[in-house]
């Protein structure tokens, strides 16, 4: 399998090269040249199999010719041995047709662990084969950073630098990033918001000289391997609920559009998914885009779901590429317009294609708090604010007799203040994080300036030429 850039001006790459590249050299995002497909018979054959077995079957076509099958299987087994639930991603029924897919049983209590644990092992393997080191950078609104630091801490071949918006992540999220004692970990509090952090990361990738000099690599969902690993739980869930002989809908709390794009990929691979529902908080650029056909960046508002306080939704570019029948020139024009005027229009045909497959909705702060409270009262289930956005929006798109699965993307204990204020319950951290708030913090504070960040990374990475 090889991978092509959504902007069509970077060389196509094999899996390991695309993995290490992160962002394509033309500023685009890598996608597989073609979607591997699974027949209904193939999908039926997944019934009764473990998460790890399904991951191996579903993901093997993406790494074929690049990673030996036995090594890939071992990485999958090791990655998911870090999870605290035997099912890895269990499905819980909360109503006659409503289900919650729990994606927070990994070490840092968010869905990011699912992909990050595998990504770290894939990168280690690719770097070992080449005898190289890499500098990993990542931007986070709270969860990617903790998951990446956990997965890469202490790894000999990588130094990791995570940019988080100063004062805009939850205290638990911050400490998951700032209390690592490993020397290869660097948490950087940036004076700005998540979009500033993400822009800095993209600017570092687009600075060819810097990129090459520190052997830059990325762990955000701009990296195809992140999306790839997230495809698996759409398959495990659909199969558990009667797929492929029944169509399932998914509602996904959405920010950077990575998680829901993984659902789209699963659908392209043959999984019978009915609707993919985008759920946003008050930073509702995606819900507005589906309604109006205009993708337009407005200011970011701080909410009780900080991980979704995002306006520049990187992976929407991947969807645009698909909806435009892979017309890289049209994607380039849209992205140029976004850069120049903070907006672009989606042409009619592409918009129709997107609207056919996706639905969207938003939840206000009041609706999030009310959903946490009423879900607890009616079902006994305690949601975190991100998952509550999903549950609120899902309820508006449920159809009788058709299963609707909401992705529960984080554990309530990551956001204790918001959860307590909505429900009266103070959710406890699990045992391995019980002393998190007492651990010593270590981080640096930097302005949202490319020079300052590049200078810091250049001085601290071991991957310099
Ligand atoms: C808890 C949580 N929910 C939802 C999201 C949104 O996911 P995505 O960015 O893949 O759309 C994020 C961060 O991205 C998150 O951390
Ligand atoms: N919500 C994310 C933002 C970054 O998203 P990513 O999936 O592109 O890494 C976070 O928690 O950091």
Spatial distance between the Cα atoms of 314 and 60, rounded to a whole number of angstroms = 25
Average pLDDT over residues 437-458: 97
Residues with CB under 6 A from ligand 2: 140-145, 220-221, 255-256, 258, 307, 314
Cβ(285)–Cβ(313) below 8 Å: yes
Beginning with the edge strand found earlier in the chain, give each strand of the sheet holding 404-408 in spatial order: 91-93, 98-102, 404-408, 248-253, 273-280, 358-362
- Residue 142 alpha carbon, nearest atom of ligand 2: 11
pLDDT of 22: 92
Average pLDDT over residues 137-146: 96
Q: What percent of the chain has pLDDT over 70?
A: 100
> Is the minimum distance from the CB of 255 to ligand 1 under 6 angstroms?
yes
CA-based nearest residue to 339, from 21, 27, 54 = 27
112 labelled catalytic: yes
| Whether residue 405 has pLDDT greater than 90 | yes
Spatial distance between the Cα atoms of 221 and 316, rounded to a whole number of angstroms = 11
The H or E element spanning position 102 is strand 98-102
Spatial distance between the Cα atoms of 121 and 126, rounded to a whole number of angstroms = 9
Average pLDDT over residues 89-113: 97
> Is the minimum distance from the CB of 286 to ligand 1 under 6 angstroms?
no
- Residue 148 alpha carbon, nearest atom of ligand 2: 9
- Residue 145 alpha carbon, nearest atom of ligand 2: 12
In this structure, the strands spanning 91-93 and 98-102 are antiparallel
> Is the minimum distance from the CB of 221 to ligand 1 under 6 angstroms?
yes
pTM: 0.97
The Å distance, Cα 431 to ligand 2 centre, comes to: 25
Spatial distance between the Cα atoms of 185 and 318, rounded to a whole number of angstroms = 30
- Ramachandran region, residue 196 (left: φ > 0; alpha: ψ -120 to 50; beta: rest): alpha
> Is the minimum distance from the CB of 307 to ligand 1 under 6 angstroms?
yes
- Which of the residues 112, 202, 275, 414 is marked catalytic? 112
Phi, psi values for residue 343, rounded to 5°: -160, 160
Q: Where are the beta strands (DSSP E) in 211-285?
A: 216-218, 248-253, 273-280
- Provide the residue count of the chain: 465
pLDDT of 464: 73
Average pLDDT over residues 28-46: 98
pLDDT of 99: 98
The Å distance, Cα 140 to ligand 2 centre, comes to: 5
User: What are the tens digits of pLDDT across the range 300-333?
Assistant: 999 999 999 998 899 999 999 999 999 999 999 9
Average pLDDT, the chain: 96
Quick one: CA dihedral 61, 219, 111, 252, positive or negative?
negative
Tokens of 431: 């045992």
| Whether residue 100 has pLDDT greater than 80 | yes
Tokens of 13: 């790459």
pLDDT of 465: 58
The number of beta carbons lying within 10 Å of the beta carbon of residue 340 is 9
Confidence of residue 134 (pLDDT cuts 50, 70, 90): very high
CA-based nearest residue to 448, from 194, 207, 216 = 194
Integer CA distances (angstroms), 220 to 217, 314, 366, 460, in order: 10, 10, 30, 20
Q: What percent of the chain has pLDDT over 90?
A: 97
Bond from prior residue into 389 cis (ω within 30 degrees of 0): no
pLDDT of 312: 87
Candidate of 30, 143, 306, 384 to mutate for ligand 2, largest count of ligand atoms within 8 Å of Cβ: 143
User: What are the tens digits of pLDDT across the range 233-251?
Assistant: 999 999 999 999 999 999 9
The Å distance, Cα 222 to ligand 2 centre, comes to: 10
- Residue 112 alpha carbon, nearest atom of ligand 2: 7
Q: CB-side exposure of 313: number of CA atoms within 13 Å? A: 30
| Whether residue 457 has pLDDT greater than 90 | yes
Average pLDDT over residues 6-13: 97
> Is the minimum distance from the CB of 386 to ligand 1 under 6 angstroms?
yes
User: What are the tens digits of pLDDT across the range 53-67?
Assistant: 999 999 999 999 999
User: What are the tens digits of pLDDT across the range 333-347?
Assistant: 999 999 999 999 999
User: What are the tens digits of pLDDT across the range 179-206?
Assistant: 999 999 999 999 999 999 999 999 999 9
């Amino acid at each position: 399998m090889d991978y092509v850039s959504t902007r069509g001006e970077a060389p196509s790459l094999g899996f390991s090269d695309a993995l290490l590249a992160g962002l394509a050299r033309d500023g685009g995002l890598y996608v597989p040249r073609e979607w591997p497909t699974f027949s209904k018979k193939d999908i039926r054959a997944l019934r009764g199999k473990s998460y790890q077995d399904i991951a191996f079957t579903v993901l093997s076509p993406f790494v074929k010719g690049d990673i030996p099958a036995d090594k890939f299987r071992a990485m999958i087994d090791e990655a998911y041995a870090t999870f605290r639930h035997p099912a890895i991603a269990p499905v819980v029924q909360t109503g006659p047709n409503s289900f919650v897919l729990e994606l927070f049983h990994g070490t840092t209590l968010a869905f990011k662990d699912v992909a990050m644990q595998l990504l770290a092992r894939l990168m280690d393997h690719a770097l070992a084969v080449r005898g190289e080191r890499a500098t990993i950078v990542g931007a986070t609104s709270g969860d990617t950073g903790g998951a990446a630091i956990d997965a890469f801490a202490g790894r000999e071949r990588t130094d990791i630098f995570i940019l988080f918006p100063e004062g805009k992540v939850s205290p638990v999220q911050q400490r998951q990033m700032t209390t690592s004692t490993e020397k290869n970990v660097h948490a950087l509090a940036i004076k700005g918001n998540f979009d500033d952090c993400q822009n800095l990361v993209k600017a570092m990738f687009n600075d060819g000289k810097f990129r090459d000099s520190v052997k830059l690599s990325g762990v955000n969902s701009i990296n195809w391997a992140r999306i790839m690993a997230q495809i698996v739980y759409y398959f495990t869930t659909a199969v558990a609920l009667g797929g492929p002989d029944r169509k399932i809908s998914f509602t996904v709390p959405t920010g950077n559009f990575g998680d829901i794009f993984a659902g789209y990929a699963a659908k392209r691979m043959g999984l019978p998914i009915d609707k993919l529902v985008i759920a946003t908080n008050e930073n509702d650029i995606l819900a507005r885009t589906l309604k109006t056909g205009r993708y337009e960046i407005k200011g970011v508002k701080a909410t009780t779901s900080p991980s979704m306080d995002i306006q520049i939704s990187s992976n929407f570019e991947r969807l645009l590429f698909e909806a435009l029948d892979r017309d890289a020139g049209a994607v380039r024009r849209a992205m140029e317009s976004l850069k120049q005027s903070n907006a672009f229009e989606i042409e009619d045909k592409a918009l129709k294609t997107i609207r056919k497959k996706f639905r969207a909705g938003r939840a206000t702060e009041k609706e999030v708090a009310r959903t946490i409270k009423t879900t607890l009262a009616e079902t006994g289930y305690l949601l975190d604010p991100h998952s509550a956005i999903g549950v609120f929006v899902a309820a508006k798109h449920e159809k009788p007799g058709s299963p609707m699965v909401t992705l529960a993307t984080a554990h309530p204990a990551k956001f204790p203040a918001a959860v307590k204020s909505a429900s009266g319950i103070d959710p406890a951290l699990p045992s391995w994080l019980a002393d998190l708030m007492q651990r010593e913090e270590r981080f640096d504070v930097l302005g949202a300036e490319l020079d300052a960040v590049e200078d810091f990374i250049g001085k601290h990475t071991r991957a310099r030429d």
